[in-house]
Structure 1
Amino acid sequence: MPDQPTAPDRTIATDVCVVGAGPVGLLAALALGRQGWQITLLERRPQPPAGAEPKGPVAVNIVQPVTLHLLDRLGLLDRLTERAGVIPGAEIYFGGHLAARHSYAELDGCPVPHALSIRSFDLVRLLLAELADLPNATVIWDADTRALTPGTGGSSTLTVRTGETTVAVQARFVIAADGRDSTARELAGIPAEVVPSSGSYLDVVVPNPPGWNGIARAHFGTHGYLLETRRADEGLVLVWITDAATAAQVTDGPIEGLVTMLSRVVPRLADWIARHVTDWEQVRRVQHHFVHTKTWSQGNVVLVGDSAHGMHAFGGQGLNTSLQDAACLAEAVDSALRGEDASGIESYEAVRRPFIEAFQSLQVTNTQQPPAAAADEQERAPEFEVLALGQPAIRPLIADAAAFLAADTDQSRR
């Protein structure tokens, strides 16, 4: 349990305190910082050495055009693309037969003509560099948040221990972006259920096959769900998602069983897979969690990203919805700070939450239950247009957020 508050060694007064320096928290902090608000960012990890590269496997995400447009408004897209893998479109297969072919460039209203496969680390590094240029933004590393106390006038005080120092951060708004096991959410008293997926997720990376065109291919069938797509600029990743029992029939045996399964689903790559997948140590297994919260905000504390609605990787919407959240909520918080309208946060949740919960249910269907019969496969596939452009009901808010991110800053607010 969190410690009781202690007398602070120093006090920081800030407009917004963001808890969590992952991509979502950093985007929210940068968006609000560029509007001139005083920003304090708390991160429990130590500050990484300058120029440090991550050790071991790093998280890679497929970022859809609607989300890339938001990053473009921040001036990050060109630099982010340098170390990413470009995905020009997708093909959908049911029972081994091509059912649909999509091109981002031909999708009406698509703001960027491709998706990107990016390392989250690269996005974090870019956002941190941009935040470092703001004189009104402070990052506190190695920050152990121990208490959150509501104050007068709608503000809150976070008691933070960093090294041997106790800091009191007095904030008009608190944005909790500290992940599925959010400390800020717990301290705010917001009930949450964190449920591990009982399904199976594994992936393996192979070099890009000769002549491969970068198209992502999603295969639905009695095996479950298999995705072949780019892994940043590193090669081709094969992702297999299914229920635990189906996976166990393969993973409890030699690696040749996995090679056979992958080759049966993607026969055109059979020789390539057999050549490059030779040991179980090449295969990465990931445990995902679902997060369900009673509310996404309470008082001046707002949850964003995995703190509010953690997801499975199926459909690749975790980072996408979270970054969209951060952009839209930054605009809503900016409006509330200026005293114009404090209802934006609640109305955003009212529009967004039904879609998020429906998508989580779709993920459960595709990850924890035995694969449906071939006739039902199409019902298990997410809509390409919704993945690329966002849910229809939220697109006007995302468009407003894009304009907000690109707006000229006003450094007079202090």
Structure 2
Amino acid sequence: MSEDNEFAPDVCVVGAGPAGLLAALLLGRRGRRVTVVERRPDPGGAAPAAGGSVMVQPVTLGLLEQAGLLGAASAGAGRLLGAQAYFGGRLAGRYRYEELADCPVPYALSLRPGALIDGMLAELAELPDVRMVWGAEVEELGGPRGGTRSLTVRTPAGSREYHPAYLLAADGRNSAVRELAGIAAEVTASGGAYLDAGVPIPPDWDELTRAHFGSHGYLLETRRGEDGLVIVWITDAATAAGVLDGPVEGLVKVWSDVVPRLGPWLAQHITDWDQVRRVQHHSVRAETWTSGNVVLLGDSAHGMHAFAGQGMNTSLQDAVCLAEAVDDALNGHGPHGLDEFERVRRPYIESLQALQATNTPASAAQAAPERERAPEFEVLALGQPDIRPLLARAMANQPRSGGHTNH
């Protein structure tokens, strides 16, 4: 993937996170000329969330498997076989991936985004019509708002200007492309508190995620990578503040009261506030996902809270659908596929964001009843029902790993 000044891309992708790279890979395998620009100076730079782990559901793992990426994504990943949900301390539901009809793989993975990115870059390196430009800061978009925009980036070697047919903005919550394109977006900070801490996996742990809803808020116990367990606590700001003002043992007691069987294990392994991570999450709602030849992908269109672990999943699914729609548009069929994707996808995304908001209230008085706060397991595992046909069609038309077609 050497760079040259004569390369005129069909598509520019801004952002070399998992969603941007997947879109670039799928388009490159279809014979499209693709340039990926990334502000990180080299592939070894820290990508968003690359150092942590994310939950990737079976529907998304199935897409990665079809794209020849599941092996790379599985490096250092931990497997999850299902989930249990508790309301007020009582078991409300048991779920197993293997029991779901049409489940592409019988497990979810807690994987390291960095491993997935490495696998994607290795695949992209095999495509002669894909270029990677590192250390590239977006400077400006040329052309009229809502029309065909050019892209100018600043690199260590100087400024470069590109004139792609389509410009995919996969540059995150604070998207420079979105702003320069004049696409308004609501970026809203969560009103509640998010804390998590990792511990070793207990000897008797059974590879099941457990979600606890109650007066304490929301407590999740799930896998972090292949050898860790992470406890996530989402609660209102006042409740969290009451704990954060004291010793870490107060936090351990709150968690142990919710999950007594883990109490001794948590007390043994969480002994200092430095082990506890506090994160401020945001949601993004862009007024439109497509403006002229600018297409928003993933967090730049609809960033969301970590509750339900759908940020990476929805972004990778978006990449599959949008790569198909952009390729179709480049074949002369116009932007109908892009418009249709947003029409089908947006209501689901916004309902998911609303569900996340009910679980992240600013005060305990604003919390919804427990049964209104739990996501639907089957939808998390298999994806939005309305989007499944689009995913199936896109992957059915996708050349397999190592091959591509020319138009």
Alignment TM-score, normalising by the size of structure 2: 0.94
Aligned equivalent of 1:112: 105
8 Å contact from structure 1 (residues 11, 170) kept in 2: no
8 Å contact from structure 1 (residues 224, 370) kept in 2: no
1:40 aligned to which of 23, 35, 42: 35
8 Å contact from structure 1 (residues 70, 405) kept in 2: no
SS of 2:164's equivalent in the other structure is strand
How far is 1:411 from its partner? 4.1
1:60-97 deviation digits (Å, cap 9, x = unpaired): 11000111111011111123223100000000000111
Aligned equivalent of 2:86: 93
Identify unmatched segments of 5+ residues in structure 1. Answer: 1-8
**1:17 pairs with 2:16:** no
- Rounded to whole Å, the distance in 2 between the matches of 1:178 and 1:263 is 39
How far is 1:110 from its partner? 0.8
1:231 aligned to which of 224, 235, 252: 224
More moved, 214-223 vs 387-396 = 387-396
- Rounded to whole Å, the distance in 1 between the matches of 2:367 and 2:148 is 55
- Rounded to whole Å, the distance in 2 between the matches of 1:54 and 1:141 is 12
Aligned equivalent of 2:322: 329
Matches within 5 A, 1:264-283: 264-283=257-276
Amino acid at match of 1:394: I
- Rounded to whole Å, the distance in 2 between the matches of 1:199 and 1:42 is 35
- Rounded to whole Å, the distance in 2 between the matches of 1:66 and 1:209 is 28
SS of 1:113's equivalent in the other structure is coil
1:175-223 deviation digits (Å, cap 9, x = unpaired): 0000011011111111112111121111100111012111000000000
- Rounded to whole Å, the distance in 2 between the matches of 1:118 and 1:407 is 23
- Rounded to whole Å, the distance in 1 between the matches of 2:48 and 2:387 is 37
- Rounded to whole Å, the distance in 2 between the matches of 1:316 and 1:56 is 13
Work out the number of aligned pairs and report it: 402
How far is 1:53 from its partner? 8.4
1:361 aligned to which of 354, 359, 370: 354
Matches within 5 A, 1:309-348: 309-348=302-341
8 Å contact from structure 1 (residues 221, 373) kept in 2: no
8 Å contact from structure 2 (residues 22, 319) kept in 1: yes
Amino acid at match of 2:236: D
Aligned equivalent of 1:4: none
**1:250 pairs with 2:250:** no
8 Å contact from structure 1 (residues 16, 39) kept in 2: yes
Change (3 A) 1:207 1:376: same
- Rounded to whole Å, the distance in 2 between the matches of 1:374 and 1:311 is 18
8 Å contact from structure 2 (residues 165, 293) kept in 1: yes
- Rounded to whole Å, the distance in 2 between the matches of 1:31 and 1:48 is 19
- Rounded to whole Å, the distance in 2 between the matches of 1:121 and 1:297 is 28
1:103-148 deviation digits (Å, cap 9, x = unpaired): 0001111111000001111111111111111110000001011111
**1:412 pairs with 2:406:** yes
Aligned equivalent of 2:342: 349
Matches within 5 A, 1:62-101: 62-101=55-94
How far is 1:372 from its partner? 7.0
SS of 2:341's equivalent in the other structure is helix
8 Å contact from structure 2 (residues 359, 367) kept in 1: no
Aligned equivalent of 2:53: 60
Matches within 5 A, 1:368-383: 368-371=361-364, 376-383=369-376
| Alignment RMSD (CA, Å) | 2.2
8 Å contact from structure 1 (residues 177, 305) kept in 2: yes
Change (3 A) 1:345 1:374: closer
Change (3 A) 1:70 1:239: same
- Aligned-residue sequence identity (percent) comes to 58
More moved, 205-214 vs 78-87 = 78-87
Amino acid at match of 1:73: Q
- Rounded to whole Å, the distance in 1 between the matches of 2:282 and 2:16 is 20
- Rounded to whole Å, the distance in 2 between the matches of 1:195 and 1:55 is 19
Change (3 A) 1:233 1:191: same
More moved, 154-163 vs 126-135 = 154-163
8 Å contact from structure 2 (residues 50, 112) kept in 1: no
Aligned equivalent of 2:295: 302
Aligned equivalent of 1:284: 277
Amino acid at match of 1:182: S
Identify unmatched segments of 5+ residues in structure 2. Answer: none
- Rounded to whole Å, the distance in 1 between the matches of 2:213 and 2:362 is 14
- Rounded to whole Å, the distance in 2 between the matches of 1:371 and 1:407 is 50
